[in-house]
Amino acid sequence: MKKAWKILAAISMSLALGACSGGSTSSAAGSASEQPASESTASLFKAGTYEGEEAGFGGENSPIHVSVTLSDDAIESIEYTADAETPTVGGAALPQLVEAVLAAQSTNIDGVSGATFTSNGFFGAVNEALESAGVDPASLEPIETETVVEDIEKTADVVVAGAGGAGMTAAITAAQNGKSVIILEKASVPGGNSSYATGGMNAANTHYQAEQNIEDSAELFFEDTMEGGHQLNNPDLVHTLAENSSAAIDWLDSIGAPLSDVGQAGGASVPRQHRPVNDEGKVLPVGTFLVEHLSSTCDEMGIEIITDAKVDEVLMEDGAAVGLHAVGKDGQNIVIHASNVVVTTGGFGSNPELIVKYRPDLEGYVSTNAPSITGDAIEFLGNAGADFVDLDQIQIHPTVVQEDGSLISESLRGDGAILLNKEGKRFCNEILTRDVVSANVIAQPDGYAWLIADENMASVSTVIEKYVNKGYMIKCDTTADLAELIGCDEETLQASLDTWAAACAAKEDAEFGRDAFDAMKTDLAEAPYYAVKISPGIHHCMGGVKINTNAEVVGTNGEVIPHLFAAGEVTGGVHGGNRLGGNAVADFVVFGRIAGTNASK
């Protein structure tokens, strides 16, 4: 999709930008007014339209492309094509970036918070276009404008901290109950960690499972989650999660966000990971799909989202929550008075200091989290008297690209992908819980492995398509090509693939005891293959603020804090010592709805 943004009036730039190709405002011989007429009237730019492109979040195979139109003295307009950028993150950031560059007449400005890859790619593409016009982008000093900073003070029935999956779910639920709602979001775009989710949502006894003849129950969901969490979970919260999961799927149907494909994730006894598909039947990343639908539903319902608003205080009166205070990006105070407060600010996976504080052994691990997920709520909820649980329970995910912390979805292993070490050998049951698989990867020579998929999987997955476009997954046309990529002996690799194909045919994995063969889309018997090098990375904080089954925040005295609710990764107790893949989305939808419902009372 191409977007165009234009300046309606020409802006004189000669004094603001300083010396650059084509003109000068001063020299050693005297001021600009003393220069010969030919120099003082020289054009700043060579008028015309110039092209540029640079890799954003979509990767080198699908770069951001821009067309920059210059007049003699201004950047007049920027058009862009960026189909591979995540719609809810980079797609939302691009209009802001265009507007910012046009206003500053420079790329030497800050990017959009929460969209670092897209920001860097956009600036790089614009710089390339400017350079092709003979302009040095580094010489273009941003126009300084006076910013009038005004404090914001508003009132609503419900105020929500955090516009991720849990926050928007809670806000929509409260609005459906007739309440006015305002959301405060730290980043420049909604989504948070929810936008990064690639797998699906666990739910039991759903109509989609019934339509696909999958037998499941809330009790089995409960048992799997407790076992996966090493029995450290709060059983009451897990029962609530499982028993409300089917209704949560129905609720997503009702807002136009169906999760109709059912696959299997690690630690699940049966297929219960619900995923979205496109019109072609290809599986989509669940996070961007849900964030896009939740965001549009917020817009339709008139829910105000104030971005660049970092919450730092729960306003309290007589021991009860009565609103939130936040600080805007320009330092303004933002105060929202409300009858009920919902906190959904996520965990602290992007805060190395807190990670090391609670888990010193994880120092130096790459993180899969959004940059804004830094655990701010630990301080401001603590100041409000909240209690916390399991803060040392931090999950590492086994399949993470180490260069930038990008997650390779667990759903691929559920669909039939396997893990091979540097010698081309399988080494574990790939669909065990994340902590177990991570430990097995770390134990391999040099602490890494290769995830292997094939064309049967790639042909029905936009997730794999995205990984290929970003350069993470490499297509190998033959087994020999795959062996060369891994750096292993071809005969050893072929033996591993043959053994696995035979296990799929027999539906028995004699080597490592993997099962759930009926949920797989392939036996990996034939090339071409798709491979990505992975190692573990920090992924999820199971610990957080203590809540009850009503999503009410519990204080250090054991009593609930009146009118204060929380949902999603900011809370603790649901996942225990290890979160199962697919349970994070279930968590934010189920408890987001509960928080929104009870905050409406």
* Residue-wise pLDDT tens digits, 335-345: 999 999 999 99
Q: What is the mean pLDDT of the chain?
A: 92
Report whether pLDDT(92) > 50: yes
| Whole-number Å distance between alpha carbons of 375 and 345 | 8
Reported as a single tens digit per residue, the pLDDT across 436-467 is 999 999 999 999 999 999 999 999 999 999 99
CA 487 to chain centre: 32
Report whether pLDDT(592) > 60: yes
Tokens coding 113: 């918070």
pTM for the model? 0.87
Which helix or strand (DSSP H or E) is residue 396 part of?
Answer: strand 394-401
Using DSSP bridges, classify how beta strands 261-263 and 181-184 pair: parallel, antiparallel or unpaired. Answer: unpaired
75 three-state secondary structure: strand
pLDDT at 34: 34
Sheet containing strand 571-572, edge to edge, reads 388-389, 544-546, 571-572
Please confirm, yes or no, whether 434 is among the known catalytic residues.
Answer: yes
pLDDT band at 8 (very low <50, low <70, confident <90, very high): very low
With a pLDDT cut of 90, the percent of the chain lying above it is 88
pLDDT at 42: 63
Angle separating helix axes 235-243 and 245-254, nearest 10 degrees:
40
Report whether pLDDT(118) > 70: yes
- What pairs with residue 53 in β-bridges? 65
369-388 mean pLDDT: 97
pLDDT band at 530 (very low <50, low <70, confident <90, very high): very high
345-366 mean pLDDT: 97
pLDDT at 588: 98
Among 597, 518, 539, 582, CA closest to 249: 582
Cα radius of gyration (the chain)? 26
With contact defined as beta carbons under 8 Å apart, do 157 and 339 qualify?
yes
- For 83-120, b where at least 16 C-beta lie within 10 A, e where not — what string? ebbbbbbbbbbbebbbebbbebbbbeeebbbbbbbbbb
77 three-state secondary structure: strand
| Whole-number Å distance between alpha carbons of 135 and 153 | 44
Among 594, 598, 584, CA closest to 194: 584
Reported as a single tens digit per residue, the pLDDT across 188-240 is 999 999 999 999 999 999 999 999 999 999 999 999 999 999 999 999 999 99
CA 123 to chain centre: 21
pLDDT at 59: 86
Sheet containing strand 75-81, edge to edge, reads 2-6, 75-81, 64-70, 48-54
User: Looking at 275, 413, 434, 593, which residue is catalytic?
Assistant: 434
pLDDT at 438: 97
- Give the E-state strand segments of 198-250 in sequence order: 201-202
Tokens coding 418: 């396997």
483-508 mean pLDDT: 98
Long-range interactions of 17-24: CB distance < 8 A, separation 24+:
17/44, 17/105, 17/106, 17/139, 17/140, 17/141, 17/143, 18/139, 18/141, 19/139, 20/44, 20/135, 20/136, 20/139, 20/140, 21/134, 21/135, 21/136, 21/139, 22/46, 22/134, 22/135
With contact defined as beta carbons under 8 Å apart, do 17 and 44 qualify?
yes
Report whether pLDDT(168) > 50: yes
546 three-state secondary structure: strand
Cα distances (Å, whole numbers) of residue 46 to 102, 123, 207, 398: 17, 20, 62, 52
Report whether pLDDT(158) > 90: yes
Cα distances (Å, whole numbers) of residue 544 to 15, 218, 236, 497: 53, 24, 16, 42
**140: phi then psi, degrees, rounded to nearest 5:** -85, 95
Report whether pLDDT(22) > 60: no
Q: Cα torsion at 304, 194, 582, 254 (round to 10°)?
A: 30
pLDDT band at 535 (very low <50, low <70, confident <90, very high): very high
Q: Is the bond preceding 398 in cis, omega lying within 30 degrees of 0?
A: no
Domains of the chain, first to last: 2-139 (3.90.1010.20), 152-393+542-598 (3.50.50.60), 396-537 (3.90.700.10)
| Whole-number Å distance between alpha carbons of 546 and 480 | 53
| Whole-number Å distance between alpha carbons of 212 and 375 | 40
Per DSSP, the residues of 320-370 read EEEEEEEEETTS-EEEEEEEEEEE-----TT-HHHHHHH-GGGTT--B-S-
pLDDT at 476: 98
